[in-house]
Chains A and B, each alone.
Chain A
C-alpha cells in the first residue's frame, strides 16, 4: 500500500510552465511526472507526434527542442521551461507544405504515416545543419527512427528531393 501511495503521482499538484511550441507562447498546466510527449499529446492536443515504445527505442516521438532532435518520450516536460519546441504541426506554412512534407507525400515516404512525424522532424534538423547531405549521412541521421513499412528507400529519396528543393529556394526554413 505504501509503495502505491508513494507512486500516486496524481495526488501531486499540477505544475504550470510556459514554452514556445511551433512559434507560439503556450502556458500549460500538467502533472509533473509527464514527459514532453505526454504534455504535447494530452495537454496541448498536438497528437501529430507519435509513440511506439515510450522507451526511447523507436524515434516516433522525435520533436525539435531548440532545433535539436529530441525523443520526447524521454524528455521530462518540466525540463522544457522556456524552450522552443517544434512538432510536425508546425512544419507547414499555412496551407503550404514544407518541402520535406511535400516530398514525403509525393515520393511514397509515408506509407502508414506513423513514423513520419518523427522522421520529418529528424530530417529537418539534418537539413538545417547540412543542406546537401549524402545518402550515407541521411541514413545515419534517421537510424534511430524505425519505419516498419517503407524499407526506407523512398524516405532517403524524399529527404534528398526536399534538400534539393530547399537549396533551390535558397536555404532552410
Chain B
C-alpha cells in the first residue's frame, strides 16, 4: 500500500470533513448536551493537601431545597486507575485526601447554583497530615507515605536499565559531559473545560458522554468502579475542545455522574470550572535530570547515562508509563551504541501529573539537545553538522531494542538549516540576537496497550448500501487533531470516492469497534491501517461484482473519482453507487471489518513494552531569538521546522499540528509553569496552585506568536497507512531546547531549565559579568536509591533482546575527562 505514489485524496489540501460543523457552532461538545429532566452536579474538594478525613456530615446539604442526592466516598468502595499497576484513586475520597482539590463529596441538584450552595452545607472534619511539596521532600520524608504501595517511602516508581557497559563506553570516550537539567511542570490548558453527562437509557443501561480522549479505557474503568456490567455501559467521546493529553486519564467526575444517574434514573451533568481543570491537571511532570554522555573528538556518541526524577503529584495515573518515557526514546534519534537510564517518580501532595503532548519525553529531550549544543561548542563543531553526522540509521535497532523504520531526520536538518540561513547566522549574529537548533523523535503509537491483551489496538467497520453511501465506524476519538478526517480520507482513497462521501461514526463504545483512543500519536497509524484493511476487503467485493458487469477481470477494475471502471478501457465504466448496488445484489448486505495490531517488539526484557512503536517521526527545528540584555526579555521573531511525517494525509491539518506544537512548545520554553505555593500557616498551610486562571497561567497570545515556516518531509514508512507517520506531538519536542540554544548564541548564557524567563536570563548575565559560570539551572542531582539495573546487551553486541548478567566491573571506571560542561 505504502508503495503507492499516486493519490486522489491523500496529500491534497482539503477542508476537513468536520470543518463545517466546527465553524457553524454545530460540533456538539459535552457541555452542549442538554437532556430532559437533567440535573447538575458539583464536587466538594479538599482544601488541604494531605489529611485524613475524620467525618463528613451531609445532612444539611441533603435537606437543602433543590438537592436530589449527595454522594461521598462511602458510595464508591472500589478504586480505579489508568494503569493496572496503579489502581489508587477513588471517585470521591473515603478517608484520605492527597492534594488540594481531591474530591470528597458531590451534590446533585436542580441547577449548578443550587448544587454549589449545598456544597457549603457539607461539614468535613479533617486531620491534617504532613505535606510533601517537592521532590526533595518526598525523598527525605519516607513517612507518612502518601500511598501504601510503590517502591518504598514516597517513591512510587524506581527503575534502571543498562544496554551495554556504559561506564566502559564513557571511559573510552575522548570527553565525558555531565549536566543537570530541570524541566518545570506545565499543564494542557484545553480551552474546553472537562464536562460529562450520564443518563440511564429507557432499557436501564448507562450512557456517558464525556470530553475524553480514551472512551475505551473509560468504559473499562467505569465498569470496575461502578461494579456494573461493561456490556450495559456505553461511553460516547464527544469531540474534545482540545485535549493535549489532559483528557487521557480517567476523571473522578465521570464516575461520579455515572453513579448519580444510576441512582436517580435521571440525566446528570457536570462541567468543571477553570480552576478545577487546573487542579485536575495530569499534565507535564516536573523532572530533574542528569545526563552523562561520552563523545569522541569528532562528535560521535559512545554512550550515555540518563538519570531522571519525576515529581508525580498525589496519584499514579499514567505515571508508571511517564517514568519509562523519560528514558526510552533517547536512543531513537542519534546513533548511540550504549545507553543506561535510571528513572524514579515520587509522590507529592499536588495534583497528579500525567501525559501531556510528548508524554515524558520533552524533558529529557530538552536535556539531551542542550547538552549536544554544549558538546558542539566544546568540540568547535557546528551543532547542525554534529547532529547530521550522528543521525540514527533507518531500518536499525537501537541499543534498547527499538526498531526504527524510515528516518527522514537528515533531510529535516538540511531543510531547516537552508531555510533559516543557519550558516550565515549561527555565531555570526550581533550580540543579543541568536539562533539555535534541536531535533527530536517521537512514537507513532505506543506498541503495547495500557492493559495486557492480544486484541487489536484499532478496529474499523464499514457499512455500504445500494444508495452508494459509505459509513465508517471506529472507536477513535476526535480531539481536534482531525481523526475523523483521516479516517474518511483513507476510506475514500481506497474506494475512489470523495472524503465528504464518507460518514464517520466514531468514539462510541456502544456502536463502534474498539480503538484505544487519542493518545501516543497512534490514531493515524493504527486506525489508518485498520481502515485500509476494511476498505480493501469491501472493495474486493465491489470489484468482483463490477467486473461481471464490465466484463473484465476483477483485478482490472479501478476505483477513482466516484467511478468504477476497467483499467484498460475507461469507457467501460459505472458510478460507484451502481457498483455498490451490483455488489449488494451479488453478495447480500455489504460490510467489512479491519483491525490493526502493532508489530511485535524485538526487545524481550521486562519493561521492553514501553518505547516500541510501528514507526517514529522525526523533527528538526531552528529558533531565532532576540534577548534584551537590560530586561532579559526574549522575543522570538521566527521558527523554522521540518517534520518527517512519512506521508501527509491532509497538508492543511498536518501544518496545523506542526504549528500548534510549535506554539505550545514556545509556551513551555518561555512562560508556562504549573507551580504551587504554601499558604501561610495562619491561613491553612495549604499547598495551592499559584496561578489557577487563564490570565495568570501565561500562554502565548496571537500577539506573541512568531512566524513559523513549516516544512513537511515525506519518508514513507512501510508500517504506516500510505506511509503516514505521526505529526501531533513530535514537532513540540525540539522547541524548548532550540530556544535555550538560541539564547546561548544570543547572549552566551546557559539556561539549563525551563521555562526560560527574563529573571533567569538576568541572573545568568549577572554571573557572566562577574566572571562566574554563566548558567542558571539546578546545581546538583540528589542521591536517588535507584535499583541495580536490568542489563541487556545491545543488538550490535550480539544480544538477543533478553536481560543478561551485567559484565563484571571492578570499580566504576574513571572518566578520561569529566568536562563540567
Contact = CB atoms under 8 A, between A and B. Distances in A.
A9 B66 CA distance: 12
Contact of B480 (A53, A89, A113): A113
Interface stretch (A77-85, A100-108, A164-172): A100-108
B480 A4 contact: no
Interface in B673-699: 693-695, 699
Contact of A87 (B15, B25, B32, B64): B25
B25 A117 contact: yes
A144 B704 CA distance: 12
Given A108-B653, A148-B664, A151-B663, 13 more contacts: A10-B110, A52-B193, A52-B241, A55-B693, A101-B23, A105-B19, A108-B652, A111-B242, A112-B239, A112-B241, A148-B699, A151-B661, A154-B659
A143 B701 contact: yes
Interface in A107-140: 107-108, 110-117, 120, 138-140
A167 to B, nearest CB: 20
18 contacts: A10-B111, A31-B113, A51-B31, A52-B192, A57-B695, A105-B15, A106-B19, A107-B652, A108-B656, A111-B242, A112-B22, A112-B480, A113-B27, A114-B29, A143-B701, A149-B660, A151-B660, A151-B662
Contact of A120 (B19, B23, B481): B23
Nearest to A105: B19
Contacts of B24: 48, 88-89, 91-92, 97, 101
B192 A155 contact: no
Given A4-B117, A57-B694, A143 B702 contact: yes
Nearest to A98: B23
Contacts of A55: 274, 693-695
A88 B25 contact: yes
A54 interface: yes
Interface string B191-212: 1110000000000000000000
Nearest to B654: A108
Nearest to B656: A108
A7 B480 contact: no
Interface string B511-540: 000000000000000000000000000000
A52 B239 contact: no
A35 interface: no
Contacts of B663: 150-152
A145 B702 CA distance: 8
Grouping DSSP codes into helix (H, G, I), strand (E, B) and loop, the A interface class, with mixed when no group exceeds half, is loop
A9 B15 CA distance: 46
B488 interface: no
B139 to A, nearest CB: 34
Nearest to A114: B241
Given A8-B117, A153-B707, A113 B656 contact: no
B406 interface: no
Interface string B781-803: 00000000000000000000000
A113 B113 CA distance: 28
B26 interface: yes
Given A53-B274, A153-B707, A147 B652 contact: no
Contacts of B23: 88, 97, 100-102, 104-105, 110, 113, 116, 120
A147 B240 CA distance: 14
A114 B192 contact: yes
Given A57-B693, A112-B239, A112-B242, A149 B699 contact: no
A58 interface: yes
A149 B273 CA distance: 20
Grouping DSSP codes into helix (H, G, I), strand (E, B) and loop, the B interface class, with mixed when no group exceeds half, is loop
A138 B19 CA distance: 22
Contacts of A50: 29, 191-192, 241
B766 interface: no
A148 B659 contact: no
A139 B655 contact: no
Nearest to B32: A47
Nearest to A144: B701
Interface residues of A, number: 65
Residue of A4, A51, A52, A108 with most partner-chain B CB within 10 A = A108
B21 interface: yes
Given A146-B694, A150-B660, A54 B25 contact: no
A111 B481 contact: yes
A77 to B, nearest CB: 15
Contacts of B25: 46-49, 87-89, 116-117
Interface in B457-492: 479-482
A115 B191 contact: yes
Given A47-B32, A150-B660, A151-B663, A110 B193 contact: no
B202 to A, nearest CB: 23
A52 B66 contact: no
A118 to B, nearest CB: 9
B376 interface: no
Interface of A: 3-4, 7-10, 31, 33, 41-42, 45-55, 57-58, 60, 87-89, 91-92, 97, 100-102, 104-108, 110-117, 120, 138-140, 142-156
Residue of B19, B27, B242, B693 with most partner-chain A CB within 10 A = B19
B273 A116 contact: no
Contact of A154 (B241, B244, B655): B655
B630 interface: no
A140 B191 contact: no
Interface of B: 15-16, 18-29, 31-32, 34, 64, 66, 110-111, 113-114, 117, 120-121, 188-193, 239-244, 273-274, 479-482, 652-653, 655-656, 659-664, 693-695, 699, 701-703, 705, 707-708
A149 B661 CA distance: 8
B655 A9 contact: no
Contacts of B699: 146, 148
B481 A58 contact: no
Residue of B23, B25, B481, B664 with most partner-chain A CB within 10 A = B23
Nearest to B121: A4
B652 to A, nearest CB: 4
A92 to B, nearest CB: 6
A49 B25 CA distance: 7
Contact of A113 (B21, B117, B659, B702): B21
B656 A150 contact: yes
A113 B22 CA distance: 5
Q: Which 6 A-B pairs have the closest CB atoms?
A: A48-B25, A112-B480, A113-B22, A114-B241, A151-B663, A105-B19
A156 B702 CA distance: 9
A155 B662 CA distance: 15
Contacts of A144: 701
Contacts of A8: 117
A152 B20 contact: no
Contacts of A97: 20, 23-24
Nearest to B28: A47
A3 B479 CA distance: 41
B701 A146 contact: yes
Contact of B191 (A120, A142, A148): A148
Contact of A52 (B191, B652, B655, B705): B191
A153 B655 CA distance: 10
A110 B32 contact: no
Contacts of A88: 23-25
B699 to A, nearest CB: 7
Contacts of A10: 66, 110-111, 113-114
Nearest to A141: B702
Contacts of A145: 702
Residue of B31, B64, B191 with most partner-chain A CB within 10 A = B191
A112 B22 CA distance: 7
Contact of A140 (B274, B693, B703): B703
Contacts of A111: 242, 480-482, 653, 656, 660
Contacts of B701: 143-144, 146
Contact of B117 (A7, A58, A105, A108): A7
Contacts of B695: 55, 57
Nearest to A92: B24
